[in-house]
Structure formats: structure tokens, C-alpha cells
Amino acid sequence: MNVPERTTTRSWLRHWLPRLALAAGFVVAYFLVGRPIRVGLIHGIIGPLLSLIDTPRALEFALTLVPEKPVVRLPSLHNVQYYAPGGLYFWAPAALLIAHAPRRPYWLVHGGLVVALSLVGLAGFTIGYGWANWGFDAQRFVEAYVLRTVSLGFPLLVQTGHVGQLGPPRRTVAAAGQGSPAFRWRPRALRGLPEARLSRWSRDGRSPGSQDGWC
């Protein structure tokens, strides 16, 4: 491996290793903290609230909470269940967003979209459980199509630059007008002088307005 290739490899490692480590830490934190919160949300809030629905339709179903899982099910209906906000369609795209732009809150925006759509699915599940069967159809549509499309499409839009930049703009040397000698800031006394004379004065430690060096 020659010197340029070794330098490129080191630069790539310096750029991506901290980002990948941060994304991996996010995934670990999600499973250690986020998943228990989801389980508590189902067993401590959503399940008890659904059990308060006392309609003739609700009495036809048996509401079941699965131990140690963030899901509520209706066993009498095939494949009718509701998972707490989060899951694979949250943490996997969020980890990618953190690795792509760790200083930008894209993953928070993505998480907000996932939670909002999941709550829409919960509204459909509630309507289906207590009042009308179309609520289950609405829940399935939101979770199977809308939520998955948004969850997977948002990181793609961020990657391709179709989502506006969040946070303060980056300051670069080129953007500040200091990337080339033609735009280098100079004192008023030195403006308009040839670059060669400026370089010579810089090496000698003198300026046209001073015989004793830079002030």
C-alpha cells in the first residue's frame, strides 16, 4: 500500500469510526432503555385505557397483553394487534441518520414522524376495537404502507439532499472567502500589490508601512 492509499484509509477511518460507534451506542441504548419503555407503555397505559372501552362491540373481543412484549392483541381476530411506537422501523433508520449526520437532529425528526404515525394507527385500532371494523382497516393501511414508506424514505431523502439542512450552516474556509489567494484578506496598505512582493515581505517580517517588522 503506497502513501496516498494509506492516507486515504486513515482519513476514512477517522471520519466513519466515531460515527459508527455513535450509531452502535444508540442501538444499544434503544434495546436497554427504549424497549422496556415501550413494554411499560403498553402494559401500564395503552392496555388499561383500552380495557375501559365498554361498548357492545368491545365486549365481543378478548384484549390480550403479551408478557414482556410491547404489543396488545385480539386473539379472536386473525393478525389484529398493535405495537407500541418504535421497533425496527424506528431504530434502524435512526441509526443510519446518526451515522450520516451526527450533529443534525434528523433522527429526532424521523422519530417524531414514526411516533405520530404509530399514534394514528392506535386511533384506528381503538375505533376498530370499540366501534367500527373500518378502524382496523385504517390501522393496517397506516402501519403497512404509510409508516414503512416514511420510515424508509426519510433517510433516503436526507441522503440525497432533498430534506432541508437542520441546524446552523457549516462554516468552511472556502465559504468564508479564504480558500484561495485571490480572496485572502489583506490590510488596506497591502491591497493591490503583487502576490510575489507580499510573499517576500511576509518572509522578511516587514510590511510597507513598518521598518521594524510586524506590529
| Averaged pLDDT for residues 17-42 | 96
Which amino acid is present at 173?
Answer: V
| Averaged pLDDT for residues 71-79 | 90
CA distance 85 to 100: 23
CB 124, CB 136: distance < 8 Å: yes
Average pLDDT in the chain? 81
CA distance 106 to 94: 8
| Averaged pLDDT for residues 141-158 | 95
For the whole model, what pTM was predicted? 0.73
The H or E element spanning position 81 is strand 81-83
Q: What is the pLDDT of residues 84-125, one digit of tens each?
A: 999 999 999 999 999 999 999 999 999 999 999 999 999 999
* C-alpha cell, 58: 368491545
Q: How confident is the model at residue 208 (pLDDT cuts 50, 70, 90)?
A: very low
